[in-house]
Structure 1
């Protein structure tokens, strides 16, 4: 009986502590209410017990998710924080370089509500068209007349099976060679992005096979950094090799991506500190987190370096530029020559990594231009519950160069061909090793 009583006392104490912490960390009076992203596309409502996120266009407002309004718990579990700066609510999400500002609105629009699987094809099309029309930043770069795509709208009253509607929406997005334009349903996925001309047109050959060709060419085992997508080795002749498969890692609860990956990469830095040169391979890296990209790059500088600016489409204009600064991990960086390998399969956060590394004096890029899809993804839930992703931000190097749709050009161009790669031979990697050896 005494044991049960003690158990209930402990449970009661835990519950009481949680309630107290909730009172401490719930949104305060100034934070509560409805907030719209300053450039549109999203609405957050904050109450004392629950917070909700909605994706919004001029013709739709769909509930995406609800989460407890315990701000410290959300920060601990998801790495997201909200703070009030004057009249602006700043949402910071782990993985993104800059926060998203929200402005207060009087109330949640009455049109906002849950997704409806029975939404009409016209409602779904109109929401997709409006989201792209109001937020997509690169129609001109891809030569797409978006207004003309309205002709693909299903006729009023017409009904379409889900598969047929998915085809219509996919056709509407076609021509935007942008891996961040994405349409998703439970039964299918589509992106209008095009594969490189050299990439084998077969379902049996993929990025994993390309990476294996690099391993086979090296001819020695690579060491995997635990909880990351990083593999490395130090060759007998003193050349270091690092393959970064993705800008991603398994982040412990309560931790943040940039310091976590920077600490994990210390293993690589220690192993390669005496290397005469380092080859870093992100040719087949599709991206992931900008924070991971910066955390890795932080090991190659001993001073802060401004590496890029980014703006967000705001109606017919752009927001003021945000400057992203690369901060050093410590005062003992890797300063030996670095050859960074890129290809047209180098995308998203791997391109941000390429920009950051390219701003450092010891780095030379080699290979093909990157894929040209640098923007963060602005996500929408369509009225029927399907998902849409689009590019709404413009990244530029510090000299103002824009690489969206064209890719970041290498310092040393090298054409990639499929035939040797399919045989497990990697000519570009051999050329990079030769360059590292001064041959």
Structure 2
């Protein structure tokens, strides 16, 4: 009788489990009906400045990389818009017959215009000849890259590198050929990714590659540089969970904040800017007791612009226009978008701030530098930054490889352009390899001296 009763309990439990599963499935289907693209959103949309196409139907969304030469499927995802928003931080809305795509991490939306049908050439990546791949890369760069003149590269002449239409190349040979075409663009946002490797034509600062300190591929390791900085601080640092931030308040009242990257392990359903601003509260609370603050961005390669704004929001008590950005649109530029830094609260960190930069300070770390330097209490010290401020426009090539390129122009509010040359410091300081190799950090020591009034 006991065994029979146990079997009945298991059966009852299984029945209950199926009821729960059925309820969950029904709820998901119901939510899909609620959050699938509506009639106004469904259809085919082309980015107003070119480069991509989005298709939306009741069940599926697709993103295509488009140029005048090719149209390749880049991404496919379910058309459950709330799920996409929670998982990826991306939203779409239709405003005055324009589809606005907002992606977490980018400060401005991308506008799309409705087109009648998907171009017949649009297809998934697959087998492609070396010539087709080269032509797709060459065309995408030619139509969307914004800074050939800054790097003194005549892109039209690179067409001569194209292989013959019937040329047969190994993947390694093709990869090397595309790299040759991109050579001379000292831009970390020009990127070529493939299953056989990654390439960027950007150049590394000389002090970062000097002998005799060979530890990994001939480079100083950023982690070792961070360790030298931390030893110079002289007291343990506290890490902020889910971020690249470590901080300490020294006994003499100088606050030190090291930001290794502008990434944030954003919780499911959260957006990175408010989440980062919230995470930074513990830093701000500690730094409220400081009489001066050092923010170390020297070895920060970047990440999310939204993360940068989440941090910077703690240093102002009023909205502040910090820069403009435009996107290449054929032979012209789109209308400027003004990035506005919003305050986190009414009690910002207003003490003197020294921001440390170097040629390794890149991308979103430069965006943070750009925002902070608009504040009266901030002084930038060190080297000019790397000069790679644009967001990355990603292209899928016909063979499935990935191309990234810079298509946006950032300018300070006074109109200055720092792409390719870097954001200049207020207080220049030459960084040399030898002291770093010996475990010394002259720039940080100079910053502490300045912060202490020396």
> Which bracket does the TM-score occupy, shorter chain normalised?
over 0.9
Render the CA deviation track for 1:172-207: whole Å, top value 9, x for unaligned.
Answer: 000000000001111111101011122124425221
CA deviation after TM superposition for structure 1 residue 156, in Å: 2.2
Residue 66 (structure 1) aligned with residue 76 (structure 2): yes
In 1, the alpha carbon distance for the partners of 2:208 and 2:27 equals: 57
In 2, the alpha carbon distance for the partners of 1:218 and 1:401 equals: 34
Q: How does 1:293-304 map to 2 (within 5 A)?
A: 293-304=308-319
In 1, the alpha carbon distance for the partners of 2:269 and 2:437 equals: 42
Structure 1: state its 5+ residue gaps.
Answer: none
Aligned to 1:168: 177
Q: Aligned match of 1:20 in 4, 17, 30?
A: 30
- Specify the structure having the higher radius of gyration (Cα): 2
Render the CA deviation track for 1:264-315: whole Å, top value 9, x for unaligned.
Answer: 1111111111101000000110000000000000000111100000000000
CA deviation after TM superposition for structure 1 residue 420, in Å: 0.4
Aligned to 1:399: 414
Q: Aligned match of 1:85 in 88, 91, 95?
A: 95
Residue 237 (structure 1) aligned with residue 252 (structure 2): yes
In 1, the alpha carbon distance for the partners of 2:254 and 2:26 equals: 58
Residue 149 (structure 1) aligned with residue 158 (structure 2): yes
Q: Aligned match of 2:268 in 234, 237, 253?
A: 253
Corresponding residue pairs, total: 438
Q: Aligned match of 2:423 in 408, 418, 422?
A: 408
Aligned to 1:131: 140
SS at match of 2:280: helix
CA deviation after TM superposition for structure 1 residue 16, in Å: 1.6
SS at match of 1:148: helix
SS at match of 2:295: strand
In 1, the alpha carbon distance for the partners of 2:438 and 2:363 equals: 28
Aligned to 2:58: 48
CA deviation after TM superposition for structure 1 residue 37, in Å: 0.7
In 1, the alpha carbon distance for the partners of 2:339 and 2:259 equals: 22
Residue 352 (structure 1) aligned with residue 367 (structure 2): yes
Q: How does 1:189-228 map to 2 (within 5 A)?
A: 189-201=198-210, 202=214, 203=217, 205-228=220-243
In 1, the alpha carbon distance for the partners of 2:407 and 2:390 equals: 6
CA deviation after TM superposition for structure 1 residue 219, in Å: 1.9
Aligned to 1:9: 19
Q: Is the 8 A contact 1:213 1:422 kept in 2?
A: no
CA deviation after TM superposition for structure 1 residue 20, in Å: 1.2
Query: Which moved further from structure 2: 15-24 or 410-419?
Result: 15-24
CA deviation after TM superposition for structure 1 residue 6, in Å: 2.9
Q: How does 1:246-395 map to 2 (within 5 A)?
A: 246-395=261-410
In 2, the alpha carbon distance for the partners of 1:151 and 1:369 equals: 35
Render the CA deviation track for 1:128-184: whole Å, top value 9, x for unaligned.
Answer: 000000000000000000000000000221111110111110000000000000011
SS at match of 1:308: strand
Residue 29 (structure 1) aligned with residue 44 (structure 2): no
In 2, the alpha carbon distance for the partners of 1:411 and 1:152 equals: 43
CA deviation after TM superposition for structure 1 residue 213, in Å: 1.4
